[in-house]
Amino acid sequence: MADLQAILFNKEAGLKALFENSTVATLIVNSHRKIQVINPAAETLFGFKKAELSGKLIDILIPEDSREVHIQQHANYYTNPVAHEMAHGEQVFARKKNGSLFPVLINLCSYHSGGEMYVIACITDLTDSKETEEKLRQNEERYRQIFNGIEEVFMMQKIIRDDDGKIVDLLFLEVNPAFVKLLNKPASEIIGHLRTEFFGPMDDELKDIINRVESGENIPYAQHFPTIGRWFHRHFDSPKPELLVSINMDITESKQEEEALLFLSQANHKLWRIDSPDEGLEEILSSSIALLRADKGTLQLYDEEKNVLVIKKHKRFDNKFLELFHEVGIDDNTSCGRALKLKSQVVIEDTEKDSLFEPYREIARKYGIRAVQSTPMYASNGLLLGVISTHFSTPQTFDTKQLRRMQLYARKAESFIERFRVYEAMRKLNAQLEEKIKLRTKELIAALEHEKELNEIKSRFVSTASHEFRTPLSVILSSIQFVESYNKPGQEEKRIKHIERIKTSVKNLTELLNDFLSLEQLEQGKLEKAPEAFSLRNFCHDMKDEMTLTLKSGQRIILSYEGEDQVKQDKKILRNVIANLLSNAIKYSSEMQEIFFHVVNKNGLVKLEVQDEGIGIPQAEQKNIFSKFYRAANAANFQGTGLGLNIVKKYVELLNGEIGFTSLFNEGSVFTVVFPQKL
Ligand code: ADP
C-alpha cells in the first residue's frame, strides 16, 4: 500500500493513482452536467466503458423519472457548493448500462480549475448493504404510515384467471386499516381470501376494467357494493402483471344525496299525479318513511277546534296504538305533541335516553320504537295542517341533510293537502248550492201542487156546485110557484109547507157555501184561532138542541157529559167539528135510529164521541174517508160533497187534537175526537 505522504508528494501521480485505484466509483461532472472523467470502479459499477461516458450527459446514469429532479439539484449545488450526501433522506437510485436500477449513496464535493467548477461524485453501491436495508425499512415504514393513515381504502389484489385466461376473482394480498374498518373484520380474515367471499361474483364491467388497467389504461370508476351498502370512486393500477392495486374513495354520502334528491323529485311528481286526498295522504306517509329509511309512520291532520292532531294514516301500527294516540295535544310529550307545541321539526334520537319521553317508553318498547322524527306541515297562511312522524327500531343519529330533505318533502306534502282543501271547499260549496236548488225546486213543486189542487177544487166546486145547487134551487123555484098559486084563504098550510121547503133548501145552500169557504180559508192558512173560556157542558147541550131541529122523524140525540165543565178553546171551530159529525150521523142513519153523543172532559183532555147506527163505511173505503171530495159508494144516494170530514180533520188539527173512527158496514160508525182542554 502506497504511503500517503509519498502520494501527496507527487500530487499529480498520487491523485491519479488514488482515482484510478479507488474502489469507490467516482466521476467528475462539469457545469453542463456532462461527464468529464470516470474511474475504473465506476466503469465496473455502471457497466460502461470510459469512452462511452466521456462528454455524455450525466442523465445516462440516472433513472428516467429522477432526471428532472437531478437537473434541479445540480443547479442548486452550483449556487451553494457544500460537500454533502445527496438524497436528503430519500433513497437514491442509479442506472446501469443494462438499464437496471440500484440503490446508491452519493457524496458530492467540488473544485475549480481553469475558471470552471467541477463536481466530484463518489458513488457507493448500497445493494446488499446495511444502509440499504435501513433505508428500505425507513421507506417501507413511511409508505406504511401513509397507507395506514389514509382515509381512502387501499387494497392490493392478485388477479385470478381461469384456464382460458378469463378473470374469475381477485385475491387480497394487502389491505389498509380503512378497508379493515369497512368490512369490520380483522386483516387476517381478509388477506388470503377471495373478493367473491365478501362482495359476491364480479360483474363483467369490472372484469373489463381490470383487463384495460393491466394494459396500461387509467380508468376512474364509480362502483356500488350492495353487500356493504356503499359507493366507491375507484382508481386502479397494475404495477406488474397479475397484480391489481386500487385506491378507493367512499362517495356513499354524495351518492345518497344524489339519490335522495332524485327520490324527492320523483315523489313530488307522483304526488302531483294523484287526485284523491286519501291516496295522497297514503303516498305522503309512504314516501316519508322511504326517504328516512324508517320502519313505521303516522300522518296526523290538525283539528283546529280541539287543538289536537288526529291520525289519518299509519303504517305498520295496530288498532291499540291508534286508540292510544288517536288524538294528541300540546301537553303530550310524544314527538308529534312536541312538534305541535314547538311548531318545528322534532327528533328523538333515542327514546331510552330522552327524559321527556319517559311516560311513553313502555309503549315504545312494545312497538319496537327506539327513535322518532316528526315534521310539521303548514298551510300558506301559516296555520298548521298536520304532522308527519316516522319511527325507527334502532337509535338514530340524523344528519342535517336528512332532516332538511324531510322538510323539503313536507313542503311538497303541504301544497298537496292545500290543493285538496281548496277542492273540498269548492265541492262543499257546490253541494250547498245543489241543496239550495233542490230545496227551491221542492218549494216550487209544492207551490205548483198547491196551485193544481186549488184548480182541482175549483173545478170540483163547479161540478159539485152545479149538481148540488141545482136540486135546492129547483126546489126553491117550484115552491115559490106553489106559494104564488096557493094565494087563497084556506091554503095557508100548504103555503107554509112550501115556505119551509124553501127555508131548508136555502139552509142547505148556505151550508154548502160555508163548507167551500171553510176549505178555502183552511187551505190558505188564513184561519185565525181565537181561544176563549166557556162551559163545554152548556155548549154541547146547545149543539144537541140545535141539531135536534134537523133530525129525521123518530131520530134522537142522546147526550152524555162527564168530567169538568170548563174549557179554553176556539168555539167557532169546535162548533163546526161537532155540527159536521152530528149532521153526518143524522144523514147516514135512517128514521127512528138513535145518535149517541158522549163527551168526557178530564185530565186536561176532551174526548167527543159521535156514534150512530147508520149505513157504516165499507172496510175497503175507510182509508180514503178524510180525503177531499171522497165519498163512499154506499153514500151515493145521500146528498153531500165529500168535503165535510176533510174540513173536520183540519179543524181538529188546529185544536191540536186528533180524529179517528171505527165503522162496520150496515151497522154504524163511531167518530172520536180528542183535543186538549186548553188551546
Ligand atoms: P159528505 O157527507 O158530504 O159526503 P163527508 O166528508 O162528511 O162528506 O164524508 C165523506 C164520506 O164518508 C161520506 O160520503 C160517507 O161515505 C162517509 N161517511 C161520513 N160519515 C159517515 C157516517 N156517519 N156513516 C156512514 N158513512 C159516513
Instruction: Kindly give the number of the ligand 1 atom that is closest to the alpha carbon of 612.
Output: 23
Considering just the CA atoms, what is the radius of gyration of the chain in Å? Answer: 61
Instruction: Kindly give the number of the ligand 1 atom that is closest to the alpha carbon of 588.
Output: 24
For ligand 1, mutation pick of 514, 625, 670 (most atoms within 8 Å of CB):
625
For ligand 1, mutation pick of 578, 626, 643, 645 (most atoms within 8 Å of CB):
645
Residues contacting 261, CB < 8 A, separation 6+: none
- Closest Cα partner for 651 from 608, 604, 621? 608
Contact predicate 24/124, CB 8 Å: yes
Strand-pairing partners, residue 93, are 103
For ligand 1, mutation pick of 578, 621, 631 (most atoms within 8 Å of CB):
631
Contact predicate 585/562, CB 8 Å: no
pLDDT tens digits, one per residue of 187-210: 999 999 999 999 989 999 999 999
- Closest Cα partner for 656 from 631, 636, 675? 675
Instruction: Kindly give the number of the ligand 1 atom that is closest to the alpha carbon of 631.
Output: 14
Contact predicate 334/360, CB 8 Å: yes
Helix (H) or strand (E) holding 599: strand 594-602
Residues contacting 350, CB < 8 A, separation 6+: 370, 371, 395, 396
Burial class (CB in 10 A: 0-12, 13-18, 19+), 264: middle
Rounded CA gap, 401 and 491, in Å?
126
Residues contacting 416, CB < 8 A, separation 6+: 271, 272, 274, 280, 284
Pocket-forming residues, ligand 1, beta carbon under 6 Å: 584-585, 588, 612, 614-617, 625, 630-632, 635, 640-646, 669
Rounded CA gap, 556 and 591, in Å?
9
C-alpha pair distances (Å), 220 with each of 153, 166, 208, 209, 247:
15, 22, 13, 9, 10
Rounded CA gap, 270 and 287, in Å?
10
Strand-pairing partners, residue 451, are none
Q: Output 207-212 pairs: Cβ under 8 A, ≥24 positions apart.
A: 207/166, 207/167, 209/236, 210/159, 210/167, 210/170, 210/236, 210/238, 210/244, 211/167
Q: Taking CA 671 as the corner, what is the angle to CA 668 and CA 674, rounded to the nearest 5 degrees?
A: 160
Please tell me the pTM assigned to this model.
0.41
- Closest Cα partner for 504 from 542, 539, 445, 550? 550
Q: What residues of the chain score a pLDDT lower than 50?
A: 1-2, 4, 7-8
Residue nearest (by alpha carbon) to ligand 1 atom 2? 640
CA of 453 relative to ligand 1 center, distance in Å: 21
C-alpha pair distances (Å), 495 with each of 476, 488, 541, 546, 549:
13, 10, 33, 25, 21
Instruction: Kindly give the number of the ligand 1 atom that is closest to the alpha carbon of 646.
Output: 6
Rounded CA gap, 341 and 320, in Å?
25
CA of 593 relative to ligand 1 center, distance in Å: 17
Which residue carries 404510515 as its cell? 145
CA of 509 relative to ligand 1 center, distance in Å: 18
Residue 446 three-state SS: helix
CA of 508 relative to ligand 1 center, distance in Å: 16
Supply the DSSP symbol for 625.
Answer: T
Contact predicate 135/91, CB 8 Å: yes
Contact predicate 41/23, CB 8 Å: yes
Supply the DSSP symbol for 66.
Answer: G
Rounded CA gap, 678 and 531, in Å?
8
Supply the DSSP symbol for 622.
Answer: G
Contact predicate 395/370, CB 8 Å: yes
Percent helix, strand and coil across the chain, each to the nearest 5: 50, 25, 25
Cα four-point dihedral sign 56, 62, 64, 69: negative
Residue nearest (by alpha carbon) to ligand 1 atom 25? 616
Q: How many helices (H) and strands (E) does the chain have?
A: 19, 24
For ligand 1, mutation pick of 515, 557, 617 (most atoms within 8 Å of CB):
617
Contact predicate 306/328, CB 8 Å: no
Instruction: Kindly give the number of the ligand 1 atom that is closest to the alpha carbon of 632.
Output: 16
- What's CA 654's distance to the chain center, in Å? 57
Contact predicate 589/613, CB 8 Å: yes
Rounded CA gap, 257 and 405, in Å?
9
Contact predicate 387/375, CB 8 Å: yes
Residues contacting 55, CB < 8 A, separation 6+: 34, 35, 36
C-alpha pair distances (Å), 172 with each of 160, 192, 387:
11, 5, 50
For ligand 1, mutation pick of 460, 584, 624, 670 (most atoms within 8 Å of CB):
584
Rounded CA gap, 549 and 598, in Å?
19
Instruction: Kindly give the number of the ligand 1 atom that is closest to the alpha carbon of 614.
Output: 24
Read out DSSP for 266-278? HHHHHHHH---HH
- pLDDT value of residue 555: 96
- pLDDT value of residue 543: 93
Cell of 147: 397507507
Residues contacting 565, CB < 8 A, separation 6+: 535, 536, 537, 601
CB atoms near residue 58 (< 10 Å): 20
